[in-house]
Chains A and B, each alone.
Chain A
């Protein structure tokens, strides 16, 4: 039998490429927030995952309210309409955390590790607030048209045996991520504020001497990081589902993404997001059927042809993290050292 390329490609597209793209975009947005905070405030913010959960919680609550009022976006999820409120709330939470916790440690010039530990405290508080308000359970808040194309429709359309499903939320995630990233880069490269942020990141003393207002830079950094967190969290929640604990778990792949790309480097965070997402998926994917389409019958594997059980998905980020820190601690894009 000749290799059956169309089926193999569709199969891989359905289970690896399409979900991988959406997941990578979500990770990249999260990693961008981490990398920005690290680049400008110079500490690893472990509260980022729960900041995401906080923003998403607000998005969920506002979505429910909008649904009760009958407001909606037709085929698009109502969650998109709730996003601005979520961004505001997450920004407010981040600014409050900075005012109450981080500002003090910055004033007394604490070592970065002290700020990291303080962020663990902030993480637990946010964690508690989210569970207190919305509870620890799974919440579903996606509505609108769930699919752009369903697996069954794809099969009928193309006559292939394998289906390819594309969810509205997957497309939306990638589209929103592209827009947000483009806007962020434009902001950092072209605007005065963006330039002052980069200057502050490159050399704090020199930036201060040239008259940059540090409080303003810090506040804007938090607002951008929190907005990215709220957007990433809401998109992840729409695509999968919202559960506070999963957001805490996302911290690891997001940090891995930021470090792989080179922490402090926005471009690196995006590349890192893609590397981590696709490593997780390709290492745990069972290639049995894929090989069935490509190889002659006699060579077809009897097992699942799966490198690692899906239970080890999170271990993949750990391994990448360790390898990168061992062999290229500055990451792909020559970021800072942690």
Chain B
């Protein structure tokens, strides 16, 4: 029996030696912190693409791909930098899907990625500041900039007939960037922003903040925060005091924890988050269900981020970040054969055969400008205590 086991172990060793060029992709999202309820599904989205490619055996002549998880905490730049550093220097990842929140993503890019030449594709960092950052061509995102979300949200609010809004945002890069974008766009469209104030996450009681918002007034309250944190507290205090009963919820606020907590009290509230009704989104939804996770916010973008990294490797003929950074835009955009979720094996084959692909993926990826998604949004509305799709924009 021992001999059999030893032989089996030996065989495994030899087999893995044959694939010495194992590719590792870092998956860095905030498994702890203010978006921890979204993080597991985002990571699962990325890992779905990774295992799909790995199982196909088509990548770079049969390389296997594994995912290595790292925790960005969403808020703590030092912790995110340390985690990224570990992934790059100790786990030796070839490229990274992540980070999630804009502040930590900036820190990871500045402190680690630029120093080590590692490519990062973020599924969810949406701060406008990341569009203009000096990134040595290493940073991409499958999520659109909040500058775009501000425009879309303004359209949605205006179309629903609200002319005055009160605005509160979480006190960080994401919240500030988004709030500025909403304010600029909304005022340009002829609306009035009665107040725009930051709130701190992690307090026990937000009634004082809500009292100030209520004093300023407004048809609706825009809560540019996080659903597991201050954003939830603000809504709680607003409903408790009757200050506002309709809320506008940007992407960081859309998730089941919010509707589970408030149910039909939220009816009539609405919001937007990156999403698309392309056939890719539906296919991805089915794939996610089959894989045992929920295609929630940013999961499709995470799948696409991982897929883009791996297709770019194939196009570059190398798993080295220094090479693949130049082929990301080439595989993401036209010309070429359109690639939807679940067709990664086919895409790898086409690229290996010298053909060209136009990756559409789960979120209808079209990378523009400095390598960020042009932006498709799903407009949602709370009906009967559940988020329902109103339309796509």
Contact = CB atoms under 8 A, between A and B. Distances in A.
A19 B209 CA distance: 13
Given A151-B242, A288-B216, A245 B202 contact: yes
A14 B215 contact: no
B228 interface: yes
A246 B214 contact: no
B209 A151 contact: no
Contacts of B232: 138
Contacts of A155: 242
Contacts of A245: 202
A316 to B, nearest CB: 10
Given A243-B204, A249-B204, A285-B208, A165 B216 contact: no
B259 to A, nearest CB: 14
Contact of A310 (B202, B208, B228, B243): B208
A198 interface: no
Nearest to B233: A241
Q: In which size bucket is the chain B interface?
A: 20 to 34
A286 B195 CA distance: 12
B203 A246 contact: yes
B176 to A, nearest CB: 15
A286 B211 contact: yes
A15 B216 contact: no
A150 interface: yes
Contacts of B236: 241
A163 B200 contact: no
Interface in A9-24: 14-16, 19, 23
B261 A286 contact: no
B202 A19 contact: no
Interface string A151-164: 11011000000010
A236 B207 contact: no
Interface string B340-380: 00000000000000000000000000000000000000000
Given A19-B207, A163-B242, A306 B212 contact: yes
A14 B212 contact: no
Interface in A137-154: 137-138, 140, 146, 150-152, 154
B208 A281 contact: yes
Contacts of A113: none
A148 to B, nearest CB: 12
A286 B212 contact: yes
Contacts of A151: 241-243
A15 B217 contact: no
A243 B212 contact: no
A215 B215 CA distance: 54
Contacts of A140: 261
Interface in B209-246: 209, 211-212, 214-217, 228, 232-233, 236, 240-243, 245
Interface in A261-276: none
Interface residues of A, number: 42
B205 interface: yes
B215 A304 contact: yes
B268 to A, nearest CB: 13
A35 B74 CA distance: 40
Given A286-B212, A304-B215, A306-B212, A241 B204 contact: yes
Contacts of A137: 228
Contacts of A146: 240
Nearest to A310: B208
Nearest to A163: B242
Interface centre among A152, A309, A311, A313 (most CB of B within 10 A): A311
A245 B195 CA distance: 29
At the interface, is chain A mostly helix, strand, loop or mixed? helix
A99 interface: no
A104 B197 CA distance: 51
Contacts of B200: 311
B215 to A, nearest CB: 4
Contacts of B198: 311
Nearest to B261: A140
A290 B200 CA distance: 25
Nearest to A288: B215
Contacts of A19: 207, 241
B266 to A, nearest CB: 14
A155 B243 CA distance: 12
A278 interface: no
B211 A167 contact: no
A287 B204 contact: no
Interface in A226-277: 236, 240-241, 243, 245-247, 249-250
A310 B215 contact: no
A306 B214 CA distance: 12
A165 B215 contact: no
Given A288-B215, A289-B217, A304 B241 contact: no
Given A243-B204, A247-B204, 8 more contacts: A15-B241, A151-B242, A165-B241, A241-B236, A245-B202, A285-B215, A286-B216, A311-B198
- By Cβ-Cβ distance, the 3 closest A-B pairs, closest first, are A151-B242, A246-B204, A286-B215
Interface of A: 14-16, 19, 23, 137-138, 140, 146, 150-152, 154-155, 163, 165, 167, 236, 240-241, 243, 245-247, 249-250, 280-281, 284-290, 304-306, 309-311, 313
24 contacts: A16-B211, A19-B207, A138-B228, A140-B261, A155-B242, A163-B242, A167-B240, A240-B204, A241-B204, A243-B204, A246-B203, A249-B204, A284-B211, A285-B215, A286-B211, A286-B216, A289-B214, A289-B215, A304-B212, A304-B215, A306-B212, A306-B215, A310-B212, A311-B198
Interface of B: 195, 197-198, 200, 202-205, 207-209, 211-212, 214-217, 228, 232-233, 236, 240-243, 245, 261
